[in-house]
């Protein structure tokens, strides 16, 4: 039997239900402590009224950011939500963005496009972006492709940052949320919450340093 590394042992500890619940509670407190900073940065105001269940008039695009290497689980949640939106608004086209690696034949946007096409979305209504290496680049590339107004489909922990980034780039973006999962019982959810909140603040620091949007 292979000897476990310190990292794998640490992962085993984090995987236990008790530790996961404790960390989830701490993540909720972390979010509450961040609220004054969020207000100071204007995060809630930029997203106010932007969470919708159908695409508003004049919106023809759905932007689906990638999840890195969390295939097919996390991205499947986003794609299924996008298909529910498409069922109510069949005029929509999709901009699927993520990572592509020629060396390994790994292609997140290809997986996303094939997933949507297999469930009834015409392939000519899907634009693939293989250079969406992070959330900011996804919206930079969407703008380069002529998208001005869009629905953004992502998870609860990710949407605030998505809409903030998109609107700072000049996109008229609205949010369509993947159904909320209980952070106390869902494994690893607290990690995503904390990671994305820190990424939000990192984006502001880069912006203040003149290196981001």
Q: Is the residue at 146 inside a domain?
A: yes
Q: Is the residue at 78 inside a domain?
A: yes
What pLDDT sits at residue 112?
93
- What tens digit of pLDDT does each residue of 42-72 get? 887 778 778 888 899 999 999 999 886 555 5
Q: Is the residue at 192 inside a domain?
A: no
Q: Is the residue at 151 inside a domain?
A: yes
Helix axes 189-208, 17-41, angle to 10 degrees: 30
What pLDDT sits at residue 23?
75
CATH code of 100's domain = 3.40.50.620
Q: Is the residue at 87 inside a domain?
A: yes
What pLDDT sits at residue 50?
87
- Residue 100 contacts by C-beta under 8 Å, 6 or more apart in sequence? 106, 107, 108, 109, 110, 130, 131
Q: Is the residue at 25 inside a domain?
A: no
Tell me which residue range forms the domain holding 74: 57-177
Total structural domains within the chain: 1
Query: Which residues of the chain register pLDDT less than 50?
Result: 1, 7
Q: Is the residue at 116 inside a domain?
A: yes
Q: Is the residue at 125 inside a domain?
A: yes
């Amino acid at each position: 039997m292979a000897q476990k590394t310190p990292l794998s042992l640490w992962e085993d500890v984090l995987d236990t239900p008790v530790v996961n619940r404790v960390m989830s509670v701490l993540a909720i407190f972390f979010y509450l402590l961040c609220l004054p900073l969020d207000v100071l940065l204007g995060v809630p105001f930029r997203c106010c009224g932007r969470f919708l269940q159908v695409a508003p008039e004049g919106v023809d695009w759905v932007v689906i950011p990638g999840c890195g290497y969390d295939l097919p689980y996390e991205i499947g949640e986003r794609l299924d939500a996008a298909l529910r939106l498409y069922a109510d608004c069949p005029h929509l086209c999709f901009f699927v963005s993520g990572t592509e690696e020629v060396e390994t034949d790994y292609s997140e946007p290809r997986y996303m496009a094939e997933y949507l096409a297999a469930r009834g979305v015409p392939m000519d209504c899907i634009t693939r972006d293989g250079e969406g290496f992070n959330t900011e680049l996804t919206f930079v590339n969407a703008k380069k492709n002529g998208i001005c107004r869009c629905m953004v489909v992502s998870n609860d922990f990710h949407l605030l940052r998505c809409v903030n980034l998109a609107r700072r780039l000049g996109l008229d973006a609205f949010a369509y949320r993947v159904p909320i999962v209980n952070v106390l019982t869902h494994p690893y959810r607290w990690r995503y919450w904390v990671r994305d909140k820190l990424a939000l603040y990192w984006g502001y620091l880069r912006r203040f340093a003149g290196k981001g949007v």
